[in-house]
């Protein structure tokens, strides 16, 4: 058992040391993207694992990215203050939409459709306010000269790698924390049967709202980080229905009910996109999503627990036998 | 000055009613499929998009007249609907409903990117200029009038199909009780397939009408997809009359909102209205209070 307990620490140390040993910029760039998106996917799975399927997370991510960038460009507010404001804005949006949903028991299909509309609307707002946000052409935060801590802009990939790693680890920690809490049991009961859970004394609305808030705050942070790292955001890359579906796809491919599932999903999807991009060049436009879509359908039909989830299930059966 | 303003207002109201017809048609298709099969096609607006490309190729490339191309397009999208059911929904019928919904989300990806790969991201249009009707200083395009009338005719046909034919009766019966109808000797699988094709046909009809008003591009589904989902939720999923009423309410909001500001803000207003309505009538616009 000691090796099992030690393993996360060894893996963590190896991940921290990695950029000091190996610093090929392109590979580091891919790793940073994987870490940031893993964090976003993990935040989606916080809700998704309890049957709260949201397609509105593209909206939260968009709010996180755009509010941070707009505050920096127009008001000169440092991302250190801008990111918390953006996260609060996303949380506020989550409450405005989710509270009536939960209070009036809009669940299942209804909830998915409402959140789907939410991410569509955020996209519309970003496009409509094109005088400020650049519309569908995208938006770039003003650059500072060189690396600036207060502007959260760094030229070297190693710093970004460590930031992304830290945030990703925090996401996994939050996942574990929820997993060990009482709320997990309450939420699992709710996802099985809301009426029974309410009868057993679970405050259904409040429990759902709590996990939604955590999820929305994390997603907004992911959006803001993505914006600060890439220094370019467009409505299509950080908001809208396709980003929401991309989250669902990655999480389902990796495994919805295990902590590292979303991370595995991010590794697979980003590597897939990169391989297609290198293989097809500019002709790849559209092809990656085509493959995504086909795989998503196939996974839901044949492997609904995802790759990591299915592997862990097999291991459990082997161990029990 | 006030006179001119009133004319504009009236024009927006009438245009809203005309828009409502097409939205009601879209909502009817989604409601039909949800009511019978208990599945929501997230990719519904993308089926419409494929239909619009179908119209574009039949009219612009093969040179067919509009009224000849339209039946072909309706058949094409009906076939797509049946195919979607056979390939994606049928294997998942016993899975949790959310899985079916997400699988159609995957289909949304497939259709969008298929259109990107196959047709490119250029904006296209039919190149048909419909004349503009002038009435008391107000301007209405014939394309909208045609869309409104055709949508109403389509919905009436569906109504009579559901009320007067054996299959229609079976569809309505299944939407009331899924288990019993199989015992009554109704082939559920066949009814599901027919319903999917019918839902597809409605999307096909909508695409023939929308192609007159919108430029065609792979992401055009996003400009009316979300609003259709809001309409069916507000009307109550599976509630045909509710969807019909909600479609006209939303169309008014979008049209009037567009009068005072950009069209996008009309959508935002519609969404805000939707949130407020959820507090007032959570179970749908026409739901009876329990």
| SS3 (DSSP) at B141 | strand
Both tokens of B42, joined, read 């997230």
Mean pLDDT of chain A, nearest integer: 85
Question: What integer pLDDT is reported at residue A301 of this predicted model?
Answer: 83
Q: Which CATH number do you get for residue B89?
A: 1.10.3470
Its domain, for residue B268, covers 2-280
**pLDDT tens per residue, range A77-99:** 888 888 999 999 999 999 988 88
Element (H, E) at B88: none
Residue A303 touches partner B, C-beta closer than 8 Å: no
Instruction: Identify whether B96 is part of a domain.
Output: yes
The answer to whether A290 contacts B110, with C-beta atoms less than 8 Å apart, is yes
Contact present, A202 and A212 (Cβ < 8 Å):
no
Q: Is residue B287 part of a domain?
A: no
**Which member of A128, A292, A304 has the closest CB to residue B262?**
A128
Distance CA B153, CA B147 (A): 10
pLDDT band at A121 (very low <50, low <70, confident <90, very high): confident
| Chain A (67-106) residues lying within 8 Å, Cβ to Cβ, of chain B | 96-97, 100-101, 103-106
Q: Taking the model in full, what pTM does it have?
A: 0.83
Alpha-carbon gap: B232 to the closest alpha carbon of chain A (Å): 9
A87-92 contact pairs (CB < 8 A, 24+): A87/A217, A87/A220, A87/A221, A87/A224, A89/A63, A89/A220, A90/A60, A90/A63, A90/A64, A90/A216, A90/A217, A90/A219, A90/A220, A90/A223, A91/A213, A91/A216, A91/A217, A91/A220
Q: What pLDDT score does A283 carry?
A: 67
Structural contact between residues A38 and A168, judged by C-beta atoms closer than 8 angstroms = yes
- Best of B43, B45, B49, B105 to mutate (most A CBs within 10 Å, chain A): B105
ipTM score of the complex?
0.76
Instruction: Find chain B residues with C-beta within 8 A of A126's C-beta.
Output: none
The total of structural domains in chain A comes to: 1
Considering only CB atoms, A290 lies closest to which of B34, B97, B117, namely: B117
Which tokens go with B269? 């207003």
B290 domain-assigned: no
Kindly report, residue by residue over A234-287, the tens digit of the pLDDT: 888 888 788 888 888 888 888 888 888 899 889 988 888 888 778 776 666 677
Q: Give me the tens of pLDDT residue by residue for chain B, a chain 290 residues long.
A: 445 556 777 777 887 888 888 888 888 888 888 888 888 888 898 999 999 999 888 888 888 888 888 899 999 999 999 999 988 888 888 877 778 888 888 898 889 888 888 887 778 777 666 666 676 666 667 777 887 888 888 888 888 888 888 888 888 887 777 777 777 777 778 888 988 999 999 999 989 888 887 888 888 887 788 888 888 888 877 777 888 888 888 888 888 877 776 667 777 788 888 877 777 766 666 554 43
Mark yes or no for CB contact B113/A117 under 8 Å. Answer: no
Rounded Cα–Cα distance for residues A127 and A138 (Å): 9
B window 167-186, beta carbon within 8 A of A: none
Assess if residue B194 is contained within a domain. Answer: yes
B156 is a domain residue: yes
CA B60 to each of CA A77, A310, B67: distance values in angstroms, whole numbers, following the listed order:
52, 49, 13
User: Which residues, 6+ apart, have CB-to-CB distance to B120 below 8 Å?
Assistant: none
Which residue in chain B is spatially nearest to A303 when comparing CA positions? B99
In chain B, what residues touch A292 (CB-CB under 8 Å)? 106, 109, 113
The pLDDT assigned to B244 comes to 86
Q: List pLDDT tens digits, range B92-132.
A: 888 777 788 888 888 988 898 888 888 877 787 776 666 66
Residues of B in contact with A121 (CB under 8 A): 226, 267-268, 271
C-alpha distances in Å from residue B209, one per residue of A4, A240, A241, A291, B148 = 62, 26, 24, 31, 9
- State the Cα–Cα distance between residues A282 and A137, nearest whole angstrom: 19
**Range of lowest pLDDT (A1-15, A39-53, B222-236):** A1-15
- Is-contact B81 A278, C-beta < 8 A? no
Q: Nearest C-alpha of chain B: how many angstroms from A125?
A: 7
In chain B, residues with a C-beta closer than 8 Å to the C-beta of A277 are: none
Radius of gyration over every alpha carbon of chain A, rounded to an integer in angstroms: 20
H or E element in which residue A194 lies = helix A194-199
Q: What is the pLDDT of residue A60?
A: 93
Q: In this prediction, what percent of chain A has a pLDDT beyond 90?
A: 23
Q: Rounded to 5 degrees, what angle do the CA atoms A98, A58, A185 make?
A: 50
The domain in which residue A32 lies consists of 2-320
Termini Cα distance of chain B: 49
Whether residue B47 is contained in a domain is answered as yes
Q: Do A297 and B229 touch (CB under 8 A)?
A: no
B227: contact with A, CB 8 A cutoff: yes
pLDDT (average), residues A16-45: 87
Question: A148 by DSSP, 3-state: which?
Answer: strand
How far, in Å, CA of A258 to CA of A176, rounded?
Answer: 10
Chain B residues 253-272 within an 8 A CB cutoff of chain A: 262, 264-265, 267-268, 271
Q: Does A150 contact B at CB distance below 8 Å?
A: no
The answer to whether position B288 is within a domain reads: no
B267 with A124: Cβ contact below 8 A: yes
Burial category of A25 from C-beta neighbours within 10 Å (exposed 0-12, middle 13-18, buried 19 and up): exposed
User: pLDDT value at position B286?
Assistant: 59
Beta-bridge partner residues of B216: B124
- Name the E strands within chain A: none
- What number of other Cβ atoms are within 10 A of residue A269's Cβ? 24
Number of structural domains (chain B) is 1
Helix axes A108-128, B97-119, angle to 10 degrees: 40
Give the confidence band of A112 by pLDDT, cuts at 50, 70, 90: confident
How much of chain A exceeds pLDDT 70, in percent? 97
pLDDT value of residue A224? 92
Is residue B92, in this structure, part of any structural domain at all? yes
Tell whether B196 lies on the interface with A, counting CB pairs under 8 A: no
User: Which residues, numbered 28 to 47 in chain B, qualify as contacts with chain A under a Cβ-Cβ cut-off of 8 Å?
Assistant: 34, 40, 42
Instruction: Determine the pLDDT at residue B139.
Output: 67
Q: What is the largest CA-CA distance in chain B?
A: 68
CATH code at position A149: 1.10.3470
A120, A288, A301 member nearest B91 (Cβ): A301
Kindly state the tokens that stand for A22: 């190996």
Cα angle A126-A131-A134, degrees, rounded to a multiple of 5: 55
Chain A residues close to B230, C-beta within 8 Å: 113-114, 117
Q: Which residue of B has its CA nearest to A299?
A: B103
* Rounded mean pLDDT, A126-148: 80
**pLDDT of the residue at A106:** 76
End-to-end CA distance of chain A: 19
The alpha-carbon gap from A16 to the nearest alpha carbon of chain B, in Å, equals 36
Interface test with A, best of B264, B269, B284, B285 (most A CBs within 10 A): B264
For residue A51, which residues of chain B lie inside 8 Å, CB to CB?
Answer: 98
* Dihedral angle sign, alpha carbons of residues B57, B61, B62, B68: positive
Across-strand partners of A148? A153
Decide if A198 contacts A66 (C-beta within 8 A): no
What integer pLDDT is reported at residue A320 of this predicted model?
Answer: 67
Contacting residues of B for A62, CB less than 8 Å apart: none
In chain A, the residue whose alpha carbon lies closest to the alpha carbon of B108 is A293
């Amino acid at each position: 058992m000691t090796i099992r307990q030690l393993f996360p620490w060894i893996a963590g140390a190896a991940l921290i040391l990695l950029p000091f040993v190996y610093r090929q910029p392109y590979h580091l760039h891919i790793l940073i993207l994987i870490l940031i998106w893993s964090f976003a996917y993990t935040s989606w799975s916080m809700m998704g694992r309890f049957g709260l399927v949201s397609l509105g997370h593209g909206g939260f991510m968009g709010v996180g990215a755009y509010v941070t960038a707009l505050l920096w460009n127009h008001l000169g507010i440092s991302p250190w203050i801008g990111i918390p404001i953006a996260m609060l804005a996303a949380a506020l949006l989550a409450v405005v939409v989710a509270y009536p949903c939960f209070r009036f028991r809009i669940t299942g299909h209804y909830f998915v459709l409402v959140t789907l509309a939410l991410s569509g609307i955020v996209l519309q707002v970003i496009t409509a306010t094109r005088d400020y946000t650049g519309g569908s052409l995208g938006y770039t935060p003003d650059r500072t000269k060189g690396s600036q801590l207060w502007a959260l802009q760094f030229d070297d990939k190693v710093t970004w790698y460590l930031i992304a790693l830290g945030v990703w680890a925090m996401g996994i920690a939050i996942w574990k924390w929820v997993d060990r809490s009482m709320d997990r049991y309450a939420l699992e009961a709710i996802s099985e049967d809301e009426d029974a859970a309410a009868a057993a004394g679970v405050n259904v609305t409040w429990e759902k709202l709590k996990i939604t808030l955590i999820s929305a705050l994390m997603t907004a942070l992911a959006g803001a980080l993505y914006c600060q790292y890439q220094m370019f955001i467009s409505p299509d890359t950080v908001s809208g229905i396709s980003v929401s579906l991309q989250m669902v796809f990655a999480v389902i491919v990796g495994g919805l009910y295990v902590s590292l599932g979303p991370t595995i999903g991010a590794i697979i999807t980003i590597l897939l996109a990169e391989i297609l991009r290198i293989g097809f060049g500019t002709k790849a436009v559209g092809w990656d999503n085509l493959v995504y879509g086909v795989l998503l359908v196939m996974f839901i039909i044949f492997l609904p627990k995802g790759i990591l989830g299915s592997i862990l299930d097999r291991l459990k059966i082997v161990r029990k036998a | 000055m006030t006179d001119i303003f009133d004319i504009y207002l009236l024009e927006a109201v009438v245009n809203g009613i005309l828009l409502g017809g097409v939205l009601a048609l879209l909502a009817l298709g989604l409601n039909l499929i949800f009511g019978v099969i208990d599945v929501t096609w997230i990719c519904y607006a993308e089926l419409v998009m494929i239909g619009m490309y179908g119209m574009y190729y039949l009219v612009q490339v093969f040179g067919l007249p509009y009224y000849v191309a339209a039946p072909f397009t309706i058949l094409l999208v009906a076939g797509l609907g049946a195919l979607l059911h056979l390939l994606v929904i049928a294997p998942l019928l016993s899975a949790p409903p959310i899985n079916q919904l997400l699988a159609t989300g995957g289909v949304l990806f497939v259709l969008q990117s298929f259109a990107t790969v196959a047709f490119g991201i250029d904006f296209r249009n039919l190149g048909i200029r419909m004349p503009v009707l002038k009435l008391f200083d107000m301007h209405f395009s014939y394309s909208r009038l045609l869309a409104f009338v055709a949508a109403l005719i389509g919905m009436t046909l569906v109504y009579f199909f559901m009320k007067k034919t054996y299959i229609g009766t079976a569809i309505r019966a299944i939407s009331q009780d899924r288990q019993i109808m199989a015992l009554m000797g109704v082939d559920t699988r066949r009814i599901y397939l027919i319903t999917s094709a019918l839902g597809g046909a409605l999307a096909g009809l909508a695409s023939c009408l929308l192609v007159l008003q919108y430029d065609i591009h792979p992401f055009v589904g996003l400009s009316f997809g979300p609003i259709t989902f809001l309409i069916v939720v507000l009307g109550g999923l599976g509630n045909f009359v509710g969807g019909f009423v909600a479609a006209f309410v939303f169309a008014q909001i979008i049209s009037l909102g567009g009068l005072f500001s950009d069209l996008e803000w009309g959508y935002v207003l519609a969404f805000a209205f939707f949130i407020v309505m959820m507090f007032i009538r959570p179970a749908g616009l026409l739901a009876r209070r329990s």
